[in-house]
Structure 1
């Protein structure tokens, strides 16, 4: 038997047929047609999934389920509001069940399904209580307890990126100030670097990297500059890690997980991020002399969304 996982992103949609060992045996992808609207995206997914099945000569009876990861909260009625996709309370789950009526259909937040994959086959393999923190454009999170995703009483659990951990120089897109993702995302790193370079005429090599066009700055430049001991990059990364440690300590103090994995695009710089991070976290936890969660880098990369979606049931 096989399962299908579909990972819906703001720019692309990935789908894969996954075997019983968590291996993606066939895959496909398409562009996310945000401007085409909700119905167009669902239609594109339908075409891609059915083509994936037929082109690889898989009998429909061999597909036990299709799971979907979506970059948003799914409420109890199966509705989704997602700014990046321009969806407002769309009938997501009911539409999927209509389009794929012959299959068992499941859906969950994308970071949650990625955490499910990491818990089953990756960096958090078979731990009882595990947390995935995805550091990318924003900060996402997934909590897995005894092999099951924790989503809370109303489906709003695991929104780690919107835990308030301090007072910041700009407001989050959600309307609050001080959200985790306004300190520890790629967007946060870039914004803070731009502000410093704009307001202070500092001689940082980041200016050379971006050809003095601050709009060209990306997170990789900042980490590369850090490796070259650029003082501005050091200031930015030290601040980033300070708040990352505070955010992780809050998770430790709240649910005391076995393991915390760092995923997302920024995890490519795990050599910098993980260095001394555990001791920084220790400074903020309640019981400073006790053992606490291992902090590791996620291992499944871009496949986590497909594999995790395929595990939904």
Structure 2
């Protein structure tokens, strides 16, 4: 049995995955992140035991346990260096779970885990080298090289969302200015639209859909308004695509992957995002004689966390 754990700030999802990347059984609990970390880890242990029991297995049937977290961890030791959503710093989660089950435990960043899942059974299946970008509240990144997850020498690599691509009107949560996620995340799109409205752009479909309240603006509202030809919405989308294309062009130049796949809430825009993005990236190509990897949408959605985590041990 391969066990995959998707540990988020809202829910803990645990599943058993087969060698084809299919989830055989899964369960979920609310994280309640304000609790002491031993209680959350105990929940994970109980959920793993519950999954195994549901399939009439025993602990001996477990081959390895993988865990995806919204933070940075040491893959081999399982020590969580930090996990901001849970306010964890230097938490020995891997050691605690390994001691309980006496099985290998691997912990990795959730975007890297999602990249691995797409490589196993999703949009980049069968490709040796790929990059996954998740565009949501922030921007996460995962890198697959030679079919294996890559996160650098210190577990802090693949932070594509913090690639500097320009000067922005607000600071990133990391404290720097110009991070990719401050231009291309759903949060970035919303903040820019709100800024332009505060500056006096009030004749916009965005406000109509948001019922006049800028706090109701979402990335979907912006894309829907752009599809109707709204000038401000079009400006916001074009700005996002401009900087996302810069980030992707940089990825092409550094890694030259077989494919770049995009997930997260912003990816739900579908062709309204992909078509102009592909055109913008093509214009930034370093070598016109090279056919760079395509840009596609992720396929696994919410299942990616469990599937990718389960295969962490298999990818070493």
- TM-score range, shorter-chain basis? over 0.9
Aligned 1:158-197 pairs, distance under 5 A: 158-197=158-197
The TM-score with structure 1 as length reference comes to: 0.95
Structure 1 unaligned segments of length 5 or more: list them: none
| Number of the residue aligned with 1:67 | 66
Aligned length: 311
Give the SS at the match of 2:34: helix
Give the SS at the match of 1:34: coil
The TM-score with structure 2 as length reference comes to: 0.94
**Are 1:16 and 2:39 counterparts?**
no
Determine if contact 1:250/1:285 at 8 Å carries over to the other structure: no
Deviates more, 1:70-79 or 1:243-252: 70-79
Give the SS at the match of 1:156: coil
Structure 2 unaligned segments of length 5 or more: list them: none
Aligned 1:1-313 pairs, distance under 5 A: 2-75=1-74, 78-98=79-99, 100-313=100-313
Post-superposition offset of 1:75: 4.0
Post-superposition offset of 1:105: 1.2
Deviates more, 1:157-166 or 1:46-55: 46-55
Post-superposition offset of 1:106: 1.1
**Distance across 1 between alignment mates of 2:229 and 2:279:** 22
**Distance across 2 between alignment mates of 1:224 and 1:126:** 34
**Distance across 2 between alignment mates of 1:186 and 1:265:** 7
Determine if contact 2:49/2:59 at 8 Å carries over to the other structure: no
Give every structure 1 segment of 4 or more consecutive aligned residues whose post-TM-superposition deviation is greater than 6 Å.
none
Deviates more, 1:54-63 or 1:3-12: 54-63
Determine if contact 2:16/2:23 at 8 Å carries over to the other structure: yes
Give the SS at the match of 2:133: strand
Post-superposition offset of 1:212: 1.7
**Distance across 2 between alignment mates of 1:80 and 1:95:** 15
